[in-house]
């Protein structure tokens, strides 16, 4: 699963598009905030949303996401430790996270039924959902994770959201993790996802980087620094709420949590060298140090949830019961 880090940063060789309105509030009042990796970040003066503009076109992004894994890694080259990768190329870690997310989603929705995942990758989350009694469907343009048997069984289609065969008004829940920040046209996607939901259905967004996190304020977070053009949108609780309200969602609830990537990076980065995955996993999972880190993590999550300063946002919101 893990991509090799290599060489210099690759520039995006494809066409770009200027973003004329704020993706969150829809207004046209922004100023240049920063330039990162040669990409300009605009900040909306109305709602605080930060976004890449000009950004890669939708067509070039879809083409990039559908590249074979090694070319994809090269295309979106970033210089950080991918903990999902190094803790979790490992299946146990991915499964643990997916089970937690699904558990929270289920508690909020208070029923099971039909679930759709946007950006479902290899289908780890949907696999667990299916095992827990959900009827599943998913879409992912990525091809390197394709498994015909599994795709068939879990209802996964390898194409863009808009090309997929999906029935409007048929899903109890729509889930996406670490996806929304990559999307060039969030409004178009979210409105489409809303259409897929039944009335009263739940949209659950997980792993959305939070620009107001403590680690970004301290300047030690990787979310902003390394990510354009892989990440195009940089949400805060406020701008995320602004967008979802504007698009007609109700009962919006947003929590923030997490510093694991940054923390683990600080701990496991040794003089610019990355330690071996199995060593990190051993320390994190089986040693006393790991137990300490996990305990600290849980305590900090509690504080971050209250202050809204966690690294990532988790959002639940409902399509209103009657249209
Ligand atoms: Zn705005």
Domain ranges, residue 252: 16-318
Distance in Å, CA 53 to ligand 1 centroid: 13
In a domain, 217, yes or no: yes
> Which pLDDT score, from 0 to 100, does residue 130 have?
97
Sequence-separated (6 or more) residues with CB below 8 Å from residue 92: none
Distance (angstroms) between ligand 1 centre and the Cα of 30 equals: 8
| pLDDT for 141 | 81
- In which band, very low, low, confident or very high, does the pLDDT at 221 lie, cut at 50, 70 and 90? low
pLDDT of amino acid 61: 81
C-alpha 154 – ligand 1 centre gap (Å): 37
pLDDT for 185-220, tens place per residue?
899 999 999 999 999 999 999 989 898 888 777 776
Spacing, Cα 50 to ligand 1 middle (Å): 8
Distance 199 CA to ligand 1 centre (A): 27
Extended beta strands in the chain, E state: 16-17, 30-36, 39-44, 50-52, 55-56, 114-118, 135-139, 156-157, 171-177, 197-209, 233-234, 250-257, 269-270, 273-274, 312-318
In a domain, 1, yes or no: no
Question: Are 65 and 139 a contacting pair, CB within 8 Å?
Answer: no
Average pLDDT over the chain reads 81
pTM score? 0.83
Report helix, strand or coil for 84: helix
Span from the CA of 274 to the centroid of ligand 1 (angstroms): 39
Q: If you ran DSSP here, which 8-state letter would residue 272 be given?
A: T
The residue that leads in pLDDT, 166 or 303, is: 166
Is residue 186 in a domain?
A: yes
Measured in Å, residue 176 CA sits from the centre of ligand 1 at: 22
Whether 124 maps to a domain, the answer reads yes
Can you tell me the mean pLDDT for 161-176?
A: 97
How many structural domains comprise the chain?
1
What spacing in Å lies between the alpha carbon of 43 and ligand 1's midpoint? 8
Q: How far is the CA of 173 from the centre of ligand 1 (A)?
A: 27
| Position 299 confidence tier, pLDDT thresholds 50, 70, 90 | confident
Consecutive H or E run containing 304: helix 288-307
Residue 8 lies in a domain: no
Query: What does the pLDDT look like over 25-52, one tens digit per residue?
Result: 999 999 999 888 788 999 999 999 999 9
118-136 pLDDT, tens per residue? 999 889 899 999 999 999 9
Q: How far is the CA of 83 from the centre of ligand 1 (A)?
A: 31
CATH number of the CATH domain containing 192? 3.40.50.150
Q: Is residue 127 part of a domain?
A: yes
Q: How remote is the CA of residue 247 from the centroid of ligand 1, in Å?
A: 13
Q: Is 27 within a domain?
A: yes
Q: Is residue 142 part of a domain?
A: yes
Which of 49-53, 65-69, 225-229, 296-300 comes out lowest in average pLDDT?
225-229
Give the model's pLDDT for residue 76.
66
Provide the phi-psi class of 236: left if phi over 0, else alpha when psi is between -120 and 50, else beta.
Answer: beta
CB-based contacts of 178, cutoff 8 Å, min separation 6: 84, 119, 206, 207, 208
Q: Which residue has the tokens 């670490």?
A: 178
Distance CA 241, CA 243 (A): 5
Ion ligand 1, residues whose Cβ is below 5 A away:
22, 24-25, 44, 46-47, 49
23 Cα to the center of ligand 1, angstroms:
7
């Amino acid at each position: 699963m893990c991509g090799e880090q290599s060489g210099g940063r690759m520039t995006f060789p494809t066409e770009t598009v200027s973003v004329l309105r704020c993706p969150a509030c829809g207004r046209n009042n922004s100023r240049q905030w920063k330039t990162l990796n040669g990409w300009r970040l605009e900040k909306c003066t109305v709602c605080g949303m930060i976004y890449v503009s000009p950004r890669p076109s939708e067509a070039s992004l879809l083409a990039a996401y559908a590249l074979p894994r090694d070319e994809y890694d090269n295309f979106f080259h970033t210089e950080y430790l991918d903990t999902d990768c190094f803790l979790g190329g490992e299946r146990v870690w991915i499964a643990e996270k997916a089970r937690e997310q699904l558990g929270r989603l289920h508690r909020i929705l208070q029923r099971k039924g039909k679930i759709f995942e946007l950006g479902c990758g290899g289908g780890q989350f949907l696999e667990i959902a299916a095992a827990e009694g959900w009827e599943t469907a998913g879409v992912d343009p990525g091809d390197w994770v394709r498994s015909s048997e599994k795709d068939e069984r879990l209802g996964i289609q390898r194409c863009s959201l808009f090309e997929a065969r999906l029935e409007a008004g048929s899903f109890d829940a729509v889930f996406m993790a670490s996806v929304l920040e990559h999307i060039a046209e969030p409004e178009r996607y979210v409105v489409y996802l809303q259409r897929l939901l039944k009335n009263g259905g739940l949209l659950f967004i997980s792993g959305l980087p939070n620009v107001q996190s403590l680690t970004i304020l301290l300047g030690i977070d990787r979310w902003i620094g390394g990510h354009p053009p892989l990440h195009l949108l940089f949400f805060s609780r406020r701008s995320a709420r602004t967008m979802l309200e504007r698009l007609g969602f109700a009962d919006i609830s947003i929590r923030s949590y997490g510093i694991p990537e940054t923390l683990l990076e600080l701990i496991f980065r040794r003089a610019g060298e990355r330690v071996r995955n199995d060593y990190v996993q051993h320390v994190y999972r089986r040693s006393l140090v790991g137990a300490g880190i996990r305990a600290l993590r849980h305590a900090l999550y509690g504080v971050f949830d209250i202050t809204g300063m966690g690294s990532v946002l988790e959002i639940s919101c409902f399509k209103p019961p009657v249209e």
